[in-house]
Chains A and B, each alone.
Chain A
Amino acid sequence: MSSSYDYDDGSYDSRAYPSSAMGGGDVGYDPNFVPDSVKTFVVHLYRHIREKNVYEIHQMYEGSFQRLSERMFRESPWPSVEAVAPYVDNDHVFCLLYREMWFRHVYARLSPTGRQRAESWDNYCSLFGVVLHGVVNMQLPNQWLWDMVDEFVYQFQSYCQYRAKLKTKTEEELQLLKQYDQAWNVYGVLNYLQALVEKSTIIEILEREKDGLEQFTATDGYDYEGGSNVLKMLGYYSMIGLLRVHCLLGDYHTGLKCLAPIDIGQQGVYTIVIGSHISTIYHYGFANLMLRRYVEAIREFNKILLYILKYKQYHQKSPQYDQILKKNEQMYALLAICLSLCPQTKLIEENVSSQLKEKYNDKMSKMQRYDEEAYAVYDELFSYACPKFITPSAPVLEEPLTNYNQDAYRLQLKLFLYEVKQQQLLAGVRNFLKLYSTISLAKLATFMEVDEATLRTILMTYKHKMHAVGSDGKSFSNSDMDFYIVDFEEMIGELDRANLD
């Protein structure tokens, strides 16, 4: 550390601070003013990074940064990177990391301007560029590397929403959209994530690990032999990032394909950081729901909801806590949808089940019916719990300007409700069949108030819808109860309870 700056080794964030410069909101914001506590912060962080002290980096990243933000930068940005650069040897990579945090803070607490959004994109390009060229030898905490990928995708999504609201844009904002037409370009976003996956050779690493030729999971992805974990972990998390981007685009098949190298049936590196764990399962479950693989979705939602139930108390102080709770609620809603379409209640753990009842008992019984109200509940829960779908194409900047930020969401909702409608008679079949081990078609038709030909189509629909096609191309059943039509030899009395299993 060559910095000549004389910092106090004490606790930088409890240090007294001249209150006049700050605290007055952005009125008094001077980007060039670097308070002592920030000097201390960057100097320490810089030193820990150079010394590869992952533990201390993590403490500063999760602890100090949040505390300083909370205390001093509630309503204004952190000092500009130019102002802090002299305290960290003008270190190029450190400055990129600092700016990444700087923008993240602006997104989280303030609202970014169009220019800041574009500048943040540039910063990610430079940062990932450096990583991809292999000149980084740092060791960073998994939490931070996850946050980078997660934030990158979040800012992309946010930008797509932002630019789609054309009606309310000022002349200047429209000008900026034209000027920065490459910012957050969808090809760019996908190709950065893809490049990180490829360049890190993470897929090969995971393959080699299966044969015992490599250690990755055992070391939580860290490198204890003097190397860097940055590219490897960014590559790993980028697979989850790609799953999320594809879900935002409505491309569930491709999303799941991107995640496939990670075996989510096992403990893995993706579960170390809770944000990564939740994001993975939320998107995995949602994609499976849209592919009609309900059992798969139910199983994974059940597991993660149980996990959150047990461990959320340990995350109360985490900056991600609100996000954890939000996703938790959304996944209960998705679980309620899955179970209404495919009642596999035996797959649900007791505690999760009682939570679910508390939250959605009424709604779930409504969804069992097949009237407009049932439909409205599906609509409500889907809208509440779905990802924030985006339209990826560039805006058409010609008059008349329209808002199209809802288009993608409306399409996914409509197609989902279409599926619900195709399945709306199946709950009825299920209820009747539960009562009988054998029954004649004629009788069942009378119960269901349809003619026999219609009944046959309903029964076939049930069979078709309760089968999903897996990623291996094979059909499998999702059903908790089943039936088959034998022949038309004779009519069997209604309560012939011959056990057929």
Chain B
Amino acid sequence: MGREREPQQQQQIPYTVEKLVALNPYNPDILADLENHVNEQVSSQTYSLDANLCLLRLYQFEPQRMSIQIVARILIKALMALPAPDFSLCLFLIPEQVQMEEQFKTLIVLSHYLETARFQQFWDEAAKNRHILEVVPGFEQAIQAYAIHVLSLTYQKVPRPVLAEAINIEGLSLDKFVEYQVANNGWVMEKVNGRPQLIVLPRNEFNHAELRKSAAEGIPLEHVTRLFPIFS
């Protein structure tokens, strides 16, 4: 499947800041530009990991110049970049006592739920902390894209309730959502009498043994197990 790193709605980065970072990777004078750029990424739904890491690096060198609000935005953006490990990459650069801030603790918990695929707990916790997350538009959609990514790694056919829980959409909205995916992304609905609806996800190398390319070449795949769920 080879998912590209930017979740669907995060567009490519304007090249000028990329260039600024490339030419001045260790220059404290670009700090303000990078902070502005974080806000730009938020409002224009774009994303630039390199620019954000560069800013965190400058904060690491001069902690007195750190803006908590900017760091929070970077972290939320990094969550949205899942399955890429960007959130950890950011945490590696943020001093421990800063990570003790209440809102960062919340984000770390949210990241933990996502990393361990506990989507229901994630959405519950996210709902409680809307005030932190709603500053960044596109957050929910990005997480839904990640959830679908993980589902499609794991399932050939997803029961509707499992999908509903993972993306936090139900009822009519879910119908619409699935319809859209059927029309645009190759999903197939499968109805079996008396059983919950199944959604067939597009085949990819991660959920079908016969399509498995050795992306990490030459790795001997010892074993593939098929798992058959049963619903009582």
Contact = CB atoms under 8 A, between A and B. Distances in A.
Interface of A: 186-187, 190-191, 194, 249-254, 257, 290-292, 295-296, 344, 346-347, 391-393, 407, 410-412, 414-415, 418-419, 422, 433-434, 436-442, 444, 452, 456-461, 463-465, 467-469, 473-492, 500-501
B227 A251 contact: no
A485 B229 contact: yes
Contact of A438 (B85, B89, B226): B226
B75 to A, nearest CB: 14
B224 A476 contact: no
Nearest to B86: A253
B223 A469 contact: no
Given A482-B209, A482-B223, A501-B221, A475 B230 contact: no
Contacts of B63: 393
8 contacts: A249-B93, A252-B89, A438-B227, A477-B205, A477-B212, A484-B224, A488-B228, A500-B209
Nearest to A476: B215
Interface residues of B, number: 68
5 smallest CB-CB distances across A and B, nearest first, come from A476-B215, A473-B5, A460-B117, A483-B225, A250-B92
Contact of B216 (A252, A433, A478, A492): A478
B60 A393 contact: yes
B228 A438 contact: yes
Given A469-B85, A500-B224, A475 B2 contact: yes
Contacts of B115: 422, 461, 464-465
B225 A459 contact: no
Interface stretch (B129-137, B155-163, B177-185): B155-163
B157 A486 contact: yes
A85 to B, nearest CB: 34
Interface string B88-122: 11011101100000000000000010011111000
Nearest to A249: B60
Interface of B: 1-6, 25-28, 49-50, 53-54, 57, 60-63, 83-85, 88-89, 91-93, 95-96, 112, 115-119, 150-151, 153-157, 159, 162, 192, 195, 198, 205-209, 212, 215-216, 219-231
B26 A491 contact: no
Nearest to A473: B5
B226 A441 contact: no
B154 A441 contact: no
Given A461-B115, A474-B4, A475-B1, A254 B208 contact: no
B224 A501 contact: yes
Nearest to A434: B223
Contacts of A479: 219, 221
A476 B221 CA distance: 13
Contacts of B155: 484-485
